[in-house]
Structure 1
Amino acid sequence: MKILVTGAGGFLGKNLVAELKNQGYEDLLLYTRNQTKDDLEAYTKECEFVYHLAGVNRTKNEKEFMAGNYDLTSELLKFLKKHNNKSPVLITSSIQAVKDNPYGISKKAGENLVFKHSEETGSKVYVYRLPNLFGKWSKPNYNTVVATYCYNIARGLDIQVNNPDAELTLSYIDDVLEEFIKALKGTPSIIDNYCYVPITHSINLGDLARIVKSFKETRNKLSIPDMDDALTKKLYSTYLSFLREDDFSYALKMNKDQRGSFTEFIRTPDRGQVSVNISKPGITKGNHWHHTKNEKFLVVSGEGLIRFREIDSNEVIEYRVNGEKLEVIDIPTGYTHSIVNVGKTDLVTVMWVNECFDPDKPDTFYLEV
């Protein structure tokens, strides 16, 4: 199928083109601002589906709204008619189309053109009144306040929150793409002639700013945002896409001594703590037990011997583990335990514990296995 995408170089277009290729659509006719109207007409001769994403949503000259959102749509539809091409047309409008402002008026005018085109030609049309979109490859100070907040906060720049109580309706780029692929296959989500993205999120500006700011703090706190919250998960993915290229990495504090090192990696209040333990050959670590605290050990490199003894028993239980066969060892409560490096190289163990370390309540009692 030959698919025409106008605005292919923009935020939505770039994501859509990438996903179309993921879905196996390779015959793409990509129209960007660098091309001519002759290119557009040539594409309309052969396309079998149209994603009309091109438009203007920010400008200093209000006349450009009509030129970008009405005139270009008119030209596209004129070319399709000229070549008797009845390809389905998907157009991105805006929830602003119901408002009496220059941008909204231009979007409503574009909608009217598309509906009229359908009446005159019998072509299927899919008009999406989109809310604020966010996601990777969006532009700060242009596409969405989410992009602006993510960009600035990732760089330590100030952000403006003029009205913290102002409500936003947001759609994440992946949810939009999923819906657009459904439209391509003829099964869009539609109510009263207008198509829509089923998954949206509501948040006020103050909460949005607070959540995005918290992402920058996760590195120092070794925390992870609440991935169980759909909006937070999507915002965090967007935030990471705005990191500077020289800021992808961050150092961890390695607690080193002659035995090796112990490094905390992740600390979460609801899912516990993850650390990396490195032991030198011949070194034994542990020899303690817990009332309630429990752990999981995963040796990823080297050879280790994990030993257990219930505190009122003389029986010692042993598990030999190595990085060639990954297996998780649960550390039950009430058992004193140790891990010994019995190999010739460093023993590297990923350790999970069900709670973050609290020096006031360590729940750790020395007792040799």
Structure 2
Amino acid sequence: MKRVGITGQNGFVGSHLYNTLGLFSEEFERIDFNKEFFESENDLDAFVASCDVIVHLAAMNRHESEQIIYETNVGLVQKLVDALRRTGSKAHVLMSSSTQEERDNLYGRSKREGRELLVSWAQEAGGKFTGLIIPNVFGAFGKPFYNSFVATFSYQLTHGETPIVSNDGEVKLIYVQELVDTIIQEIRSDKGNAKLLVEPTAVKKVSEVLDLLEDYKTKYLEGGEIPVIKDSFEHNLFNTYRTYIDHKSHYPVKFVQHTDPRGAFVEVIRLGIGGQCSFSTTVPGITRGNHYHTRKIERFAVIKGKALIQLRKIGTDEVLDFYLDGTEPAYVDMPIWYTHNIKNIGEEELYTIFWINEPFNPEDADTYFEVV
């Protein structure tokens, strides 16, 4: 078992990497990192000495002063190198750098010089170092106005704001989970590579991305429709967009009922893609679920009985409660990386329709059990 520590484990990429490593608990032990460790040599040394692998992600991306960005990023790497030397560490160190290394700006310089500091340490100490040159990263839970224009646009479109394209150039993109998979692959390889170019998985104009996000707003947020998803990039972009919706105020979404003397008709879901639709009955007091997905798109629709649907983002304590009643049929969609369940809180059987965008495959279930 490899002991893996992540500087910046609570950041955008760091939290995804930390959570994903947790899915391989028989292969990796996660060594927790606190940003205050950089202010204490003893704490930083103890952290470094505990790790077989260190993924250095802690960095400053934006600040009104480029000089502060430069000094902060180089300073963090220097502190890590000093701790590696003090402890005589032979850890495999991986560092996230940027395609901006070659640009004439202080952020790019800070990443290049930081990477070169770790290259020198590895050569001197006989350690292993991998410098990851990474394109623009997008994905769930990125900080708007900081991590990515995708995060900014997604936040604006789900919070009543209007995005503006200031520079409609082509952008090389990689989804955060694809980057995490690459990092884990490098950890497993146990080989160093001073300058590893991480290939983008999509190249898009900024306006192309905005057009897709605006389509998601119109069809999904406002209309409840699962839009056409043509490829893995659009799948990942749609899942990213969904995480910026204010779940507390948006759900449950009531269906439109059409009634006549025969009874009622409700359209449960309108699809631009396929998937699997299923139906369940649940006796009073029983809870289903208590699991989460990292890629699947899923809808729970209560059509009879009373239910409590609960969501909790992995790594957090806040539980979101949604009460649904079949007399007013409604649905809740499950965001990725949120563990969820549904409980019959009524006195009669609960009738629920479940839709998910891909049929269940026991060899690749993307279903991880954790109690809400």
TM-score (norm 1): 0.69
Q: Tell me the amino acid that sits aligned with residue 170 of structure 2.
A: E
SS at match of 2:228: coil
Counterpart of 2:140? 136
Deviation at 1:146, TM superposition (A): 0.5
Q: Whole-Å Cα distance in 2 between the matches of residues 188 and 224 of structure 1? A: 42
Matched residue SS, 1:127: strand
Q: Which runs of 5+ in 2 are unaligned?
A: 280-302, 305-347, 356-372
- SS of match in other structure, 1:109: helix
Q: State the 1:199 CA deviation.
A: 5.2
- Report the alpha carbon displacement of residue 197 of structure 1 after superposing the two structures with TM: 3.5
The 5 A counterparts of 1:120-131 are 120-131=124-135
SS of the aligned residue for 1:265 comes to: coil
Q: 1:153 to 1:12 in 2, by over 3 A?
A: same
Question: 50, 61, 67: which is aligned to 1:63?
Answer: 67
> For residues 189 and 235 of structure 1, do their structure 2 counterparts lie closer, same or farther at Cα, with a shift above 3 Å needed?
farther
The alignment status of 1:45 with 2:49, answered yes or no, reads yes
**How far off is 1:267 after superposition?**
3.0
* CA RMSD after TM alignment: 3.1
CA 1:110–1:275 in structure 2 vs 1: closer, same or farther (change >3 Å)?
A: closer
- Give the Cα separation in 2 of the matches to 1:153 and 1:255: 30
Q: Which residue is 2:232 aligned to?
A: 230
Q: 1:253 aligns with which of 251, 256, 263?
A: 256
1:248 positional shift: 3.6
1:14 aligns with 2:15: yes
Percent of aligned pairs with the same amino acid: 28
Q: What is the CA distance between 1:33 and its match in structure 2?
A: 4.9
2:150 partner SS: helix
C-alpha distance in 2, partners of 1:260/1:189? 67
The 1:152–1:129 alpha-carbon spacing in structure 2 relative to 1, beyond 3 Å, is same
Matches for 1:150-299 after TM superposition, within 5 Å: 150-164=154-168, 166-186=169-189, 193-198=194-199, 200-219=201-220, 220-244=222-246, 245-268=248-271
One-letter identity of the residue aligned with 1:224 = I
Q: Does the CA-based 8 Å contact 2:128-2:192 persist in structure 1?
A: no
Q: Deviations over 1:309-365 (max 9, x none)?
A: xxxxxxxxxxxxxxxxxxxxxxxxxxxxxxxxxxxx99x898x9xxxxxxxxxxxxx
Could you list the per-position Cα deviations for residues 151-194 of structure 1 after superposition, in whole angstroms to 9, with x for gaps in the alignment? 11011211111233x1111111110111111111126796xx42
Instruction: Give the deviation of 1:37 after TM superposition.
Output: 2.8
Deviation at 1:251? 2.5
Counterpart check, 1:102 vs 2:95: no
Moved more, 65-74 or 229-238: 65-74
Residue 42 of structure 1 and its aligned partner are, at CA, apart by: 1.9
Cα distance in 1 for partners of 2:192, 2:48 equals 26
Report the equivalent of 1:114: 118
Residue type matched to 2:249 in 1? Answer: D
Rate the CA distance shift 1:226–1:33 in 2: closer, same or farther, 3 A: farther
CA contact (8 A) 2:31 2:47 kept: no
Cα distance change, pair 271–8 in 1 and its aligned pair in 2 (3 A): closer
